[in-house]
Structure 1
Amino acid sequence: MWKKAIEDAVQKTRANIERYGDLFPHVSDKGKYQLNPNTDWTDGFWSGMLWLCYEYTGDDAFRQAARRTVESFRQRLDNNVSLDHHDIGFLYSLSSKAQWIVEKDESARKLTLEAADALMKRWRPKSQLIQAWGPEGDPNNGGRIIIDCMMNLPLLYWAYEQTGNEKYRDVAVIHAEKSRRFLVRGDDSSYHTFYFDQETGDSLRGGTHQGYRDGSTWTRGQAWGIYGFALSYRYTGDKAYMETSKRLARYFLKRLPEDHVVYWDFDVPVNADTYRDSSASAITSAGLLELLSLLPADDGDRAYLEEGLNRSMKGLVEKYATTGEPNAEGLLNHGSYHIRGGLAPDDHVIWGDYYYLEALVRMDKGITGYWYERK
C-alpha cells in the first residue's frame, strides 16, 4: 500500500515540475494549485518535495528542479522578499538546508546560515520571544507567538550546531520553553497563539487565528506541536519536550474520527458538512515517525503511538490520497487552510502534500526530512 502511494506521489510531482515552471504552489482552488513567484510562507514545501523525490528515485530531473528552487530562495533572501514573519524556518530548512544535507553544497550551507540570521531578527529581547507576524511593535502581533513556530526552531538549532554560536540555541530554547509553558494546556490540548506584553513579557492570554474559537484546539496547531516538540527534544535532549510531544500526540490520537483523519478543529460541531484537515493528519503522521525514532524500545507509549500512526496513514492513503486520479495536482484531498477566513477550506494544500510524502518515504526507505543533520 505504501509503495503504490509513493509511486503515485512521485509521478504527480514529476508532472508538476513542468506545470509549475519557476513558480511555487500554495493552496488549490477547485483542484488547481494557485502559484506564486516565491512570495508565500509555504514555498519551501515544494522544494522539499523535490528533494525527497530525488532521494527516493535518484532521478536527476528532481535534483535539477530542486536546485532551481534553491536559487530562487537565494534571490528571495538577497532581496528581502516577504520575510517579515517567523516561517523562514519552513522556507529554508526544506530548500537550501535540504540541499546541504543531500549534496553537502557549501553555498547552500552559507545561504541557510544567512536565513537563520534573518529569523533571529524576529527575536524580541524585552518579551523574550520570536515574534510570529508583522513588524516589531505591531499593536496586534508584536507580542504574539504561535505554535507553528516549533517547526521553525530547527533552523536555529542547526545554525548553532554548524557555528558553535550559542545565540541561536539560546533563542530557540527560550522560545520553545515559553511555547511549552503557555501554548500547551493542562489537559494536553493546545492554544494556537498566545499574547505577551511587549514591554514586560508578562503573559496576557491564549487565543486563536485559524481555530474554531480562542479556547478550542485547532488540529493543525496540535500537529505542529507534536512534531515540533519532538524535534526540540532531538536537538536539546530535554525530556520535557519529549513528554510534551507525547502528551499532544495522545490527545490527537484519542480523538481520531471513524476514518482516522481529523476535522479542522477538535471542538468544532461535527455534521455532514464539517470540513476535515488532511494536512493535520499528515503532519502528525510525520511527527509520530520522528517521535517513535526517539523513544526507548521499552517506552510504555510506543505501541499506542505506532498503532495511531498506522491508523492515520492508512486513513490518508485509502480515503484521502489522490491515487487513481491521474490528473490531480495535489497528493491529498480535503486539506484546509483558513476556514474562518474563507481561504481554501477543502482542497489541496502544499504542506499537506509535503508531510504526507515525507511520512511515506520515511516508512518505506527510512529517508527523513530536512529538519536536522543525518548521522
Structure 2
Amino acid sequence: MKIFKNKLLPLSIVGIMAFSCTPKAEKVKAEFIDQNVAFASAQTLKMLESVGEPTGKNYPRTLDPEGKLVVTNMYDWTPGFFPGSLWYLYELTGDSTWRNQAAKWTESLEPLKTFTGHHDLGFMMYCSYGNAERLAPKPEYKDILIQSAQSLSSRYSDVTKCIKSWNYRKGWNDTTEWFYPVIIDNMMNLEMLFYASKVSGDKRYYDIAVSHANTTLKNHFRDDFSTYHVVDYDTITGVVKDQATCQGYSDNSTWSRGQAWAIYGYTMMYRETKDSSYLNAAIKATDFYLKNLPEDLVPLWDFNVGQEGFTPEGKSYAVEFKEKLRDASAAAVVCSGLFELGQLTNNKAYIDSATKMLKSLASPNYRATLGNNGNFILMHSVGSIPHKNEIDVPLTYADYYFLEALVRYKNLKQ
C-alpha cells in the first residue's frame, strides 16, 4: 500500500502565503460543489420518503447486514446528525424545503434537553439545534441549548476534572471494568458548552469545557500525539486506572475515528479559547494522522491493524478483519476539521489536504449512486469492528461531516 507522505510547510512560511484561485479553478470548484449538492439533495429526498415524518423513533443511522435501513430512537447517540444534515442542505441551497424539514426533525428532539444518560448530548443537540439556531434562530432554540448544556454538565466531576462519557461498562475484552470511562469522542460535545456560556453568561460551562479538554490532553495522548480511545478514572481519587480501546484494534493502537475526533475537537478548542496548547495538539494530532494515510486519504479503521506489536488479546477479529477496511466517517470528520484548522493557521497545506480528502470522498469509490446505499450519501464506514457491528456500511455521521466539509469548502476564504 502506498502511504501519503504529508509535507507541510513551516507555519512561519505558510503564514505569509495568500490563497489564490484562478477563474478556471473557481469554476471547477463551483461545479464540484453544485454536483455534490445536487446529488446529496436528491439522495436525501429519497431518505425522507423512506422514513416519513419524525416520530422520535425513526432517525436514520445505517444499514443492517441485509442492506435494510436501520433507524434509532432519540436516545441513541446519533439522532442529531440527520437533522443537522438537513440544515446543511438548507445552507448549501437556500431552499426553504430543507429549512422546513430541518426544523421539523430538529424540534422532534426537544425532550432530550433534560437527558443525562450519556455524554453525547452535544452530538444530539448541537448538531441539530446548534445549526438551527445559527441558520434559522428562534427564541426557544437558545433556551433548549442552554438546558442541554446544563444536562451535559451534570456528568462533570470535580474529582476527575472531566465529563463522564459512559456509565459503568466492561471493557472491549470483557475482562476490564470501567467505572468512570471517558472517550476521546467526548471532545466533540464541548462546543455546545461554549455556546451556552456565551449566550447565558454562565462561565461554568466554559470552565467545564476547558477542564475536560485539559484533562483529555494530559491523559488521552501518547508522545507522538496518537490517541487512546478510552481512559478510565478512579471515582474517588481521580487517577487514571486504564488507557485502552473499545472500538479500535488494540489498547495500544490508534483508532482512526478517535484520532479524527481529537483533531476536530482541539481545533474547535483553539477557535473558542485561542489557547496555543490546543492548537499544538490539533496540529500534532493532524500530522500523525496525515503521515499514516493511504494514497486515497481515507484511513484504515485503525492505523495499526495487523501490525507487529499491536495484538488484541483473544479476539477473532484480529485475523478476520486484519485486511484493509477503510472508514469514510473518520475521513469526513478530519476533512471538515482540516478546513477550519487550515483557516485558523493560514496553512495552505492543510487546506489542500482537506480539498483532496473531500474529492476522494466524493469519488465513485466512496460516494453512492442515486437511490442506492439505503439513500445515504457515503459508503464504506465502520462502526465497531470489535463488536462486529456496522462493518463497511454507510453511517449517518459520515454524511453529516461530509456535508459540513462541503459547506466549509464552499465558504473558504481565499
How high is the TM-score relative to the length of structure 1? 0.90
Q: Tell whether 2:356 aligns with 1:311.
A: yes
Structure 1 runs not aligned, ≥5 long: 368-375
Q: Tell whether 2:35 aligns with 1:4.
A: yes
How far the C-alpha of 1:272 sits from its partner, in A, is: 8.5
1:24 aligns with one of 59, 64, 89: 59
Match of 1:201 in 2: 238
Secondary structure of residue in 2 paired with 1:345: strand
After superposition, residues 182-261 of structure 1 pair within 5 angstroms as 182-261=219-298
Q: Distance in 1 between matches of 2:133 and 2:355?
A: 31
Q: Distance in 2 between matches of 1:344 and 1:291?
A: 30
Secondary structure of residue in 1 paired with 2:363: helix
How far the C-alpha of 1:15 sits from its partner, in A, is: 2.0
How far the C-alpha of 1:164 sits from its partner, in A, is: 1.5
Q: Tell whether 2:395 aligns with 1:356.
A: no
For residues 273-310 of structure 1, what are the alpha-carbon distances to aligned partners after superposition, in whole Å with 9 as ceiling and x for unaligned? 43210100010000101111211x3xxxx243233223
Cα gap change, 1:317/1:110 in structure 2, threshold over 3 Å: closer, same or farther? same
Q: Could you tell which deviates more after superposition, 24-33 or 214-223?
A: 24-33
After superposition, residues 164-179 of structure 1 pair within 5 angstroms as 164-179=201-216
How far the C-alpha of 1:325 sits from its partner, in A, is: 3.7
Q: Tell whether 2:96 aligns with 1:60.
A: yes
How far the C-alpha of 1:103 sits from its partner, in A, is: 1.7
After superposition, residues 81-120 of structure 1 pair within 5 angstroms as 83-120=116-153
Secondary structure of residue in 2 paired with 1:205: strand
For residues 14-56 of structure 1, what are the alpha-carbon distances to aligned partners after superposition, in whole Å with 9 as ceiling and x for unaligned? 2212211212011222444301232310110101001111122
Q: Tell whether 2:81 aligns with 1:45.
A: yes
1:331 aligns with one of 359, 377, 395: 377
Secondary structure of residue in 1 paired with 2:70: strand
How far the C-alpha of 1:13 sits from its partner, in A, is: 1.3
- 8 Å CA contact 1:8–1:323 kept in 2: the answer is no
Q: Give the letter aligned to residue 331 of structure 1.
A: I
Q: Tell whether 2:86 aligns with 1:36.
A: no
Secondary structure of residue in 2 paired with 1:318: coil
- 8 Å CA contact 1:250–1:305 kept in 2: the answer is no
For residues 117-174 of structure 1, what are the alpha-carbon distances to aligned partners after superposition, in whole Å with 9 as ceiling and x for unaligned? 11011112222210001169x9944322111011100111111111121111111101
Q: Distance in 1 between matches of 2:410 and 2:248?
A: 33
Q: Percent identical across equivalent pairs?
A: 33
Q: Distance in 1 between matches of 2:258 and 2:192?
A: 19
How far the C-alpha of 1:110 sits from its partner, in A, is: 0.5
- 8 Å CA contact 1:33–1:348 kept in 2: the answer is no
Match of 1:373 in 2: none
How far the C-alpha of 1:323 sits from its partner, in A, is: 4.5
Match of 2:195 in 1: 158
Cα gap change, 1:310/1:71 in structure 2, threshold over 3 Å: closer, same or farther? closer
How far the C-alpha of 1:205 sits from its partner, in A, is: 2.8
Match of 1:343 in 2: 389
How high is the TM-score relative to the length of structure 2? 0.82
Secondary structure of residue in 2 paired with 1:346: strand
For residues 322-357 of structure 1, what are the alpha-carbon distances to aligned partners after superposition, in whole Å with 9 as ceiling and x for unaligned? 353433311111100011101111100000011011
Q: Distance in 1 between matches of 2:162 and 2:322?
A: 40
How far the C-alpha of 1:227 sits from its partner, in A, is: 0.5
Q: Could you tell which deviates more after superposition, 356-365 or 106-115?
A: 356-365
- 8 Å CA contact 1:183–1:192 kept in 2: the answer is yes
Cα gap change, 1:263/1:46 in structure 2, threshold over 3 Å: closer, same or farther? same
Secondary structure of residue in 1 paired with 2:42: helix
- 8 Å CA contact 2:343–2:351 kept in 1: the answer is no
Q: Give the letter aligned to residue 85 of structure 2.
A: M
Q: Distance in 2 between matches of 1:149 and 1:37?
A: 21
Match of 1:71 in 2: 107
How far the C-alpha of 1:176 sits from its partner, in A, is: 0.2
- Aligned-pair RMSD on alpha carbons? 2.1
After superposition, residues 277-316 of structure 1 pair within 5 angstroms as 277-295=327-345, 297=346, 302-316=347-361
Q: Distance in 2 between matches of 1:55 and 1:315?
A: 22
Cα gap change, 1:362/1:34 in structure 2, threshold over 3 Å: closer, same or farther? same
Q: Could you tell which deviates more after superposition, 180-189 or 141-150?
A: 141-150
Cα gap change, 1:189/1:258 in structure 2, threshold over 3 Å: closer, same or farther? same
How far the C-alpha of 1:259 sits from its partner, in A, is: 2.2
Q: Give the letter aligned to residue 50 of structure 2.
A: R
Higher Rg:
2
Secondary structure of residue in 2 paired with 1:94: helix
Q: Distance in 2 between matches of 1:332 and 1:185?
A: 31
Q: Give the letter aligned to residue 14 of structure 1.
A: L
- 8 Å CA contact 2:305–2:322 kept in 1: the answer is no
Aligned length: 358
Cα gap change, 1:272/1:6 in structure 2, threshold over 3 Å: closer, same or farther? farther
Q: Distance in 1 between matches of 2:179 and 2:191?
A: 22
Cα gap change, 1:272/1:221 in structure 2, threshold over 3 Å: closer, same or farther? closer
